[in-house]
Structure 1
Amino acid sequence: MTSIKYAWSELGGDPARLARVSTVARKDALPARLPVRELARACVGVCALAGAELGARRAGLARVPVVRVDDGAVAASFTSERQLLVEGRAPVAFAPLSRFWRTADGWVRTHANYPHHRERLLRVLGTPEDPDAVAAALAERSATEVEDTVYAAGGLAVALRTPEEWAAHEQAAAVAARPLVERVRLDGTRARAFTPLQGAPLLPAAGLRVLDLTRVLAGPVATRTLALLGADVLRVDPPGLPELPDQHADTGFGKRSALLELTSATGRSTFEDLLASADVVVTGYRPGSLDRFGLSPEALAERRPGLVVAQVSAWGADGPWSGRRGFDSLVQVATGIAAVEGSAERPGALPAQALDHGSGYLLAAAVLRALTEQSYDGGSRLVRVALARTAAWLMTGVGTDERGGDPGAAADAGAGAWLAETGSALGRLRYALPPVSFESGPGDWARPAGPWGADAAAWIDQPRQHAQGDQGDQPADVNS
């Protein structure tokens, strides 16, 4: 289990725990030239193992529950935005102007799903919202010129690069210098004392409060997973930056959604009240962009000792592109993935937004491992992942997990086996079931997605955890 072993090591996990993981290999899942299936399996596998480990720690179990990773469930989840149906209607994954375009010297990919990004792109090109007009304007410019001018205007466009061209880029060097999962202890807060878990299902994150300051896919996938495992997850968005409804329906399972204006005194006061009893804060904005609100990891931990701060970004925390906006599709184009999956003459794409989903599960795993480590060693923690770093792992080959896989499950079972339906305030939803699975663990979310911004900016009334390192009885140690 080469890839799972590597990812678990990057998370600081005990290698003996890996004996508790089994895999079901399905060779038709997520077909690609690059080892997408192995990466997806590894990210989900270590997330499930981290959840099982924390659950065992809190329940005082003698052994970590057995983890089972099925490629069919993983593939359905990694394409969850395409599996979603809302009242029988399939969502539109990409807007008409979010695509590859020919330029005078190659290719560029734009991202214009959000109205403000679309407006900035069109303003730079000086064209109406017409694909033919956009194509004509881009055909007259070089790919890197489009990349630079659209970025300078606050839009999103990235030139197609080969793996060799990306390797020579300064941002690639900055990404390569970082671990797959960054893990930092921020202070010396005392060990966390958890309320012991009882009953079934085993919910490792039960009683924990998670402030979700994320958008798009990777961050929401991470917080959706924490919600599956029992956390009270409250997503908070500024009222002037609406989320795409279908995207929110896909990633909103298990969570609540509230609107809060941090630039107002009332909004800031409400946020500080939420932070005062939060256990985890997850952010998905560009590195440093929230610092002006006092939301840097260090500032958060100073106000809330014992906090776990989790961050995900497109390009990483260092380098000339660290402050740039980015999405999975654009990272694929910049890092050479699109050239490998297609060619320099006709770019391709991965069979899923695997950088987003994979990074999301890695981030959730990092949060769960940080919580386990806090129960022994204390300390506020920072964990961080980047789509470009996940891409670098994919491009190096990841490794294979075929050894130990179930040889009787080589064929694709079909996505239908991993889908479910439920009623909701949004209508009837068909959705992908969670792939994170361990013995006695949850099989589905406790609540469906609801309307964006419809919930109160307040925690659900429930017993609290000792997030500031209060002393208490610790569960027995857990053996693998």
Structure 2
Amino acid sequence: MDSRMVTDPLADVRVLRIGDRLAGRTLTRLLTDQGARATVVDLDDPDARAKAIAACAGCDIVVDAGAIGRADAAGLGFDDLAPVRPGLIYCSLPVFPPAPADVAPGAGGASAGRVSAGTVSAGTVSAGTVSAGTVSAGTVSAGTVSAGGVPVDDDIAIAAELGLNFVAGREPRDEELPVGSSFGAFLAAGYVMAALLRVRRDPSGQRIVVPLAAATLTTVARRLIRAADPALVDPVAGPRLPIASRYACSDGCFVQSGGAYSRFVETFVDVIGRPEWRPEAVQALLGLPTAADEAAWRGRLDAVFLERTADEWERAINDAGGSCTRCRTRAEWLAEPHARESGIVVDDGTSIRAGRAVRVFEAAPDGGSPAPRDGGAAQRGDGVAQRGDGVAQRGDTVAEHGDGVAVARNGGGLGDSGSPLRGVVVVDLSIVLAGPTCGRALGDLGADVIKVDDPHRPISPYGWLEVNRGKRSILVDLRRDEGREVLWRMLSGADVLLENYRHGKLDQLGFGFADVARACPGIVYASLNAFDVGGPWAARPGWEHNAQAATGMQLALGGWGPGRPPDQVTYPLNDFGTGLLGAYGILLALRRRDATGAAQFVAGSLARTATFISSPLFEEQAADRAASSVRWLRCPDGYVGVLHSVSGRAASEGGALDGDLIRDAADVAGRAASREEAAERLRASGFGCVVVRGSAELPDRPWVRDSGLVVEWEHPRWGALRQSRARGWATGFEPSPSYPAHDPGQDTSVLLAEHGYDDVDIRRLVESGAVASVPLFEMWSVA
């Protein structure tokens, strides 16, 4: 069947970027990759104000990417530009959230801006009551943190503050990945799209503030979950079969093995020629008695992987349906045929760049599959099919709205209240982290998210609590006819189907895009998997660690052990990043669906996200980060980082920190009683400095505590619960207040009743096993 792609879903959108910080560049790229046209104004240009005002008259979105306060000082803040362009969306990307007076620049790297008295106070931020008109220009500035008068790279400051570059027992490492800038841009892209949905009904201007650190809390959120009941431990944290780990092979290369479920373990032991290990290995996947047992298994697997080369293991295990990825360098990944054929990497003959962070396809008039076909539609340079002139018309089940406001398939208007997605129904079939994070982000914007899970799949309790807040839950066995009928009924009134299985997996159950698009005209179908659609690896299973291994992240982070083996980023940045990008893609698709009525297909992947996050390291921006190295100094209670070439002392004495300056800094740090004292002394001596923190400190940090980024609530079954909540602020809408994650299947009966089942039907479905409910902390033991 033919396929079409929406090549430019934002072709009608104009963007003005002011300044050049990486977060702002990344946000602008996310928009321009989808067809928006951008004008860039350099704040160092003497005519910057005149040029910006002229450009603003025809633009829809302003991205403030300047250093602290520069746009406001230049007369280019929101209050200056909003009168020029009615309906203007103005997005600022400060490093840290608005904070009370006890958090000042240089005090541990905390604040990059201020909300002045009478605008948004600490109390109103934490209560989540930022209302229209309360965020004024000139109070929240987007810029680089200042440490004692010395500018600090945004991403270095965030990595140190959130402990991204720190593992207990090891010296911190330089964080080369622009994680803070990336996550700030990812979350901001969703907020900007939400504002675009609202602006059709409410033409007043909107101010959006997305602090980079607040967005990046997403990456460490699981570490911040705490249940008051000490008996509620997370079984995943204990000793287990080390199948998802890195192993040296006979050729000196490494592989990242994978397998979160018993069928992958069974496949693995067959491929390695040890079928007799099967019962013991499957049981070990659920947990082992001691760390010594895990070490014994690791010794066994060390010996096994030395029997073949890394390429041989990758081929053999994947051909059998298992999961194994050779640890590649970035250069190898950029040349990998799959990366090119899937459009994750684009080579136009003059440069190599990352492809779009997320792709939006439009269904052909016959409801055809959106996946690129060999010999099918014409191909663009990024490996995706071009859209033709014809588009499918809105089906009868899609409500029309005369004024062009985006509408839900069930007739509710998008953006007709404080929540941009009120009235939008999302059926979330996804598992683990990436897909559920996407669903959670949509729920934060007001969507009604229905989480559908397999009653036989083990669930990590703390992972579930983190990514499934704000959703209703039902357990449905899609292997049964009755279970599939339940899902079809839910899809009949849904706007979005979200899944993150291997490409093609749901087709086997009759719920592929083509099937759903024919039955549900106008639906948005989002697929977020490991290795994307298209390309030879499309059907491969994979997880966070496989994406890191394939794209060069693990080898780039090696160096803590002998022989520089690959190492893993210790937090699932690609899972969470793919979730946020998936939400952005769905918002793009909803806007497009409103214009054409056609079903939309959103495609993202862990490998695509990993490549996009890493792109500043192999594209033209690499030079911008070359001078951002740090020397780590030990203090009695942890570490501080002294920045090499941005230190005031280094600049005044001829460039980067040399041996004498490092000794001076180490002497200052060594005489301090704490990290805070060391940082204060170093800054007073003219050194650029950051304090390295652990995740346990974050809930009590003023910028987290006073900005409502940690919530404490009473779970109806499990009692007091604390968790973080990444967010931004907007004058045109307020994120949903949310609620703690329901237990798996907790809403089964209610949801069935909403979809036309009576008490007799519900009892029959429960007795047949087609639907179920299971207390969360019992799910891990489900076979």
Q: TM-score, normalised by structure 2?
A: 0.54
Name the residue aligned to 1:69: 210
Matched, 1:176 2:176: no
Name the residue aligned to 1:407: none
Give 2:393's match in structure 1, choosing from 183, 186, 189: 189
Q: Could you tell me which runs of 5 or more consecutive residues in structure 2 were left unpaired when the two chains were aligned.
A: 1-23, 39-59, 64-89, 97-153, 160-164, 166-174, 282-296, 347-354, 366-391, 402-406, 626-688, 756-783
Q: CA 1:13–1:122 in 2, change beyond 3 Å: closer, same or farther?
A: same
CA contact (8 A) 1:82 1:90 kept: no
The 5 A counterparts of 1:238-249 are 238-249=454-465
Q: Whole-Å Cα distance in 1 between the matches of residues 746 and 309 of structure 2?
A: 44
Q: Whole-Å Cα distance in 2 between the matches of residues 199 and 306 of structure 1?
A: 20
CA contact (8 A) 1:72 1:415 kept: no
The 5 A counterparts of 1:14-93 are 16-19=60-63, 20-25=90-95, 27=154, 28-30=157-159, 31=165, 32-57=175-200, 60-87=201-228, 91=234, 92=236
Of 152-161 and 341-350, the range deviating more from structure 2 = 341-350
Name the residue aligned to 1:6: 29
Name the residue aligned to 2:249: 103
Name the residue aligned to 2:312: 145
Q: CA 1:212–1:435 in 2, change beyond 3 Å: closer, same or farther?
A: same
Q: CA 1:421–1:139 in 2, change beyond 3 Å: closer, same or farther?
A: farther
Alpha-carbon RMSD = 2.9
Q: CA 1:22–1:107 in 2, change beyond 3 Å: closer, same or farther?
A: same
Deviations 1:411-451 (A, max 9, x none): 78963213222221344322121324322533554221021
Q: CA 1:111–1:197 in 2, change beyond 3 Å: closer, same or farther?
A: closer
Matched, 1:423 2:714: yes
Q: Whole-Å Cα distance in 1 between the matches of residues 470 and 752 of structure 2?
A: 14
Q: CA 1:459–1:54 in 2, change beyond 3 Å: closer, same or farther?
A: farther
Give 1:226's match in structure 2, choosing from 436, 442, 460: 442
Give 1:154's match in structure 2, choosing from 321, 326, 332: 321
Q: Whole-Å Cα distance in 1 between the matches of residues 515 and 400 of structure 2?
A: 20
Deviations 1:259-299 (A, max 9, x none): 22223221122111111111111111111111133322232
Name the residue aligned to 2:581: 362
Matched, 1:165 2:165: no
Name the residue aligned to 1:395: 614
Deviations 1:226-277 (A, max 9, x none): 1111111112123333332222121111112212222322112211111111
Give 2:263's match in structure 1, choosing from 104, 111, 116: 116
Secondary structure (helix, strand or coil) at the match of 2:744 reads: coil
Secondary structure (helix, strand or coil) at the match of 1:235 reads: strand
Name the residue aligned to 1:326: 542
Q: Whole-Å Cα distance in 1 between the matches of residues 430 and 596 of structure 2?
A: 28
CA contact (8 A) 1:78 1:353 kept: yes
Q: Whole-Å Cα distance in 1 between the matches of residues 542 and 488 of structure 2?
A: 29
The 5 A counterparts of 1:208-219 are 208-219=424-435
Of 281-290 and 241-250, the range deviating more from structure 2 = 241-250
Q: Could you tell me which runs of 5 or more consecutive residues in structure 1 were left unpaired when the two chains were aligned.
A: 403-409, 463-480
Deviations 1:18-66 (A, max 9, x none): 3411011253223521222222121111011112222333xx2113522
Secondary structure (helix, strand or coil) at the match of 2:603 reads: strand
Q: Whole-Å Cα distance in 2 between the matches of residues 192 and 314 of structure 1?
A: 36
Q: Whole-Å Cα distance in 2 between the matches of residues 197 and 317 of structure 1?
A: 29
The 5 A counterparts of 1:431-446 are 431-439=723-731, 441-443=733-735, 445-446=737-738
Name the residue aligned to 1:267: 483
Deviations 1:339-384 (A, max 9, x none): 1122582212335322111111111111112222333343221121
Q: TM-score, normalised by structure 1?
A: 0.85
Amino acid at match of 1:45: A
Of 285-294 and 86-95, the range deviating more from structure 2 = 86-95
Secondary structure (helix, strand or coil) at the match of 2:545 reads: helix
Q: Whole-Å Cα distance in 2 between the matches of residues 453 and 10 of structure 1?
A: 39
Amino acid at match of 2:318: Y
Fraction of identical pairs, as percent? 26
Of 411-420 and 256-265, the range deviating more from structure 2 = 411-420
CA contact (8 A) 2:476 2:483 kept: yes
Matched, 1:340 2:556: yes
CA contact (8 A) 1:316 1:385 kept: yes
Structure 1 residue 461: Cα displacement:
5.7
Name the residue aligned to 1:380: 599
The 5 A counterparts of 1:226-305 are 226-305=442-521
Q: CA 1:223–1:436 in 2, change beyond 3 Å: closer, same or farther?
A: farther
Of 288-297 and 89-98, the range deviating more from structure 2 = 89-98
Of 437-446 and 350-359, the range deviating more from structure 2 = 437-446
Q: CA 1:40–1:260 in 2, change beyond 3 Å: closer, same or farther?
A: same
